[in-house]
Amino acid sequence: MRLGYARVSTQDQDTHTQTAALMAAGCERIFQETAGGGRWERPQLHRLLDQLRPGDVVVVWKLDRLSRSLKDVLLILEKIDHAHAAFQSLTEAIETVTPAGRMLMQMVGAFAEFERAMLRERTQSGLEAARREGRVGGRRPKLTTLQRREIVALVTSGKKTNAEAARLFRVHPSTITRLLATQTPDV
């Protein structure tokens, strides 16, 4: 069975052009929805994917109607493949029915994997450079160095309890507990 999927991004648009092309391509059922291409919450797409049977062909008018994210396109194509179904994009003439079409999609997948690896490498490089410069990631400390010294002095001298120091400096009591745990006792 040939199953069509038509998507528009806004309520102002309609799927008429897409559905006409999908019907001309022999689609027996067409799933239509209005949703942004970057969103994963698309009930009609999920209904289509859940109903796939071996030998079915998912047809879209253009590849970007499936998703705007290459990662999501590859994930959707993987789901189609797991159902032993095929995929066809009418405008770009991409299809996974033939060996050449499957090879093309594998090449697209290889480029996407390469892109993810390069991004991961650039991110790691940037984090390492930041560490070398003394910058660390994460949230900024709530207490300054001076405030930490003052809290340690107040609590260790017995002038304030952990809870009182926490209220005084407007932090959670566990912040005070962690601060005191990092202090080495003077022996």
pLDDT value at residue 134: 87
Please spell the DSSP secondary structure of 88-143, one letter per residue: EETTTTEESSSHHHHHHHHHHHHHHHHHHHHHHHHHHHHHHHHHHTT---SPPPSS
- Write out pLDDT tens, residues 1-50: 999 999 888 778 888 899 999 999 999 999 999 876 556 678 899 999 99
- Write out pLDDT tens, residues 60-112: 998 888 877 777 888 888 899 899 999 998 987 788 877 888 787 778 767 76
CB 175 within 8 A of CB 166: yes
pLDDT value at residue 185: 62
d(C-alpha 154, C-alpha 158), whole Å: 6
List the beta bridge partners of residue 71.
Answer: none
Q: Per-residue confidence at 184, pLDDT binned at 50, 70, 90? A: low
Question: Which helix (H) or strand (E) covers residue 8, if one does?
Answer: strand 2-8
Active site positions, annotated:
9
